[in-house]
Amino acid sequence: MKIFGLKSALIATTYVFYVNSLAYAQEDIPDRSQKSSIKKFHKDNKRKAGLFFTDSGASYRWNEDRNEIRLGGFIQADSHTFFNDVSEPGNDYFTLRRIRPVLEIRFGKIYSFYVMPNLESSPGILDAFFESNYIKPFNLRVGKFKSPFGLERLQSATALALNERAFPTNLAPNREIGVQVFGNILWDTIEYQIGIFNGNVDNGSGIRDNVINSNNSGIDFVARLFSHPLKHAQTELLQGLGLGIAYSYGTQYGSTRSGHANLPTFISPGQQLIASYTQDAFASGSRERIGPQLYYHSGPFGIMAEYTISQQKIKIGTTSDKVANDAFQVQISWIIFNGDASFRRVQPHNPVTFENLNAIGAIQLVTRYSELNLDAKAFTHGLFNPDRSVSRAQDFGVGINWYLNHNIKLQLSYNQTHFTHGATGRFDRPTEKILFSRMQVAF
């Protein structure tokens, strides 16, 4: 009876926030950054003009269904419970982790405009771009959006199997202002993205003082290839393999003025600051990143792995260093019933609806190991303070996710992160032990 009541309450919550649309319903960042899906939408989902409500929300279409305005978004309500509170710097709290409405306007079969503000702790505009979908091999995007680099960064926040992204995201670009061409080639077996961006620091969202921000210190070139080499194999077991490589090169300059070093900080899964450069250090030249990546999905089984190295020329006083930090992760998931693994949000085979309250949705188990290593010579040369910055972080996480339907997901996960250095006297920072929970409503 309790489970029945909980399902009813959660479904009702979905309808209260029911403000999205489109049969090709998109995620945090549109999935057509990898695939052009507008033509498929028009071929398979033609409808009359007017206002429409689907399991993805609401949209208004006109001009014989060639034009459309859709409203969407998602909300994630989290709790963080830290253990060993006596020595652990984290505090237990409840937070609205993400509040992100979406507006998309589509004109004809080609042109669209997309904007997604961030309404939680640091309000601002995360995404705002214009896109032209011409043909599968060639499409164009201009504005502010996710730079095509990190695998988990490109994954929608609504599809994350654990509450927080792994350490490679600390070293990858986040949102940047730029222009990108992208498409699918060789019978849809290869996706490519090539772009030029006004680069931000590693993991920078491009928001400062509640407005779009870029430090304007240089131009970044970013390219990514992702292959599905066995996509057309006759054996279904082989079709879910994806292999890729991402590369970026550019310049980053800063100064010793407060807030102008243009250097990244590093955070733990519990969103605690675990490392930062010393006050007198600043970016001073070339920055290069490389990121091999892969995933594999077959039936209920999924695996995702990536490695990222970020090299930045940094200056302190009269000394310059080329600092190389690296991180990797391996994540394994298993949907124990009623669903298939996917890089996108899991879709239950038997979702919970008002007409089907006896359904149970899909249950997913997940585990992940992730590691961050900061350059040893950066400590030797005084770029990091070992009393305040860790030199290594090793995280192990486990979780269980309940996908009631397309709109609602409940998560419970535990992360334990061991640190090397980072405490006064060059001792190890206390191990971070944290229990996460999340309720997600996505439209």
Mean pLDDT over the full length of the chain: 86
Whole-model pTM? 0.88
Statement: residue 431 has pLDDT above 50 = yes
Give the residue among 145, 117, 116 at the shortest CA–CA distance from 131.
145
- Looking at residue 338, its amino acid is N
For position 37, what pLDDT does the model report?
37
DSSP H stretches of helix in 225-359: none
What is the tens place of the pLDDT at every residue in 11-35?
Answer: 444 443 333 333 223 344 444 433 4
Asked if the model's pLDDT at residue 55 lies above 90, the reply is no
Q: Is 201 helix (H, G, I), strand (E, B) or coil?
A: coil
Among 45-54, 340-349, 366-375, the range scoring the smallest mean pLDDT is 45-54
Average pLDDT over residues 73-98: 82
Per the CB < 8 A criterion, the answer to whether 265 and 377 are in contact is: no
Domain total of the chain: 1
Count of beta carbons in the 10 Å neighbourhood of residue 5: 9
Mean pLDDT of 135-163: 96
pLDDT at 214: 52
Distance between first and last Cα of the chain: 27
Provide long-range contacts, Cβ within 8 A and 24+ apart, for 223-226.
223/148, 223/192, 223/193, 223/194, 223/195, 223/247, 223/248, 224/148, 224/149, 224/191, 224/192, 224/193, 224/194, 225/190, 225/191, 225/192, 226/34, 226/190, 226/191, 226/192, 226/293
* Choice between 23 and 93, residue whose per-residue pLDDT is larger: 93
Instruction: Examine the pLDDT at 344 and tell me if it is beyond 70.
Output: yes
26-35, 154-163, 304-313: which range is least confident on average? 26-35
Residue 294: which CATH number? Answer: 2.40.160.10
Q: Note the pLDDT of residue 145.
A: 95
184-243 pLDDT, tens digit per residue, is 999 999 999 999 998 889 988 877 544 455 555 678 999 999 999 999 999 989 999 999
The parent domain of residue 27 ranges over 2-442
pLDDT attached to residue 29: 47
| Alpha carbon distance 305, 332 (integer Å) | 9
77-81, long-range: CB within 8 Å, 24+ apart, which pairs? 77/438, 77/439, 77/440, 78/163, 78/436, 78/437, 78/438, 79/436, 79/437, 79/438, 80/270, 80/271, 80/434, 80/435, 80/436, 81/434, 81/435, 81/436
Q: Is the pLDDT of residue 58 over 70?
A: yes
State residue 212's pLDDT score: 57
What residues have CB less than 8 Å from 299, skipping those under 6 apart? 340, 341
Tell whether the model's pLDDT for residue 276 goes beyond 80.
yes
In this prediction, residue 213 carries a pLDDT of 54
- Span 362-416, pLDDT tens digits: 999 999 999 999 999 999 999 999 999 999 999 999 999 999 999 999 999 999 9
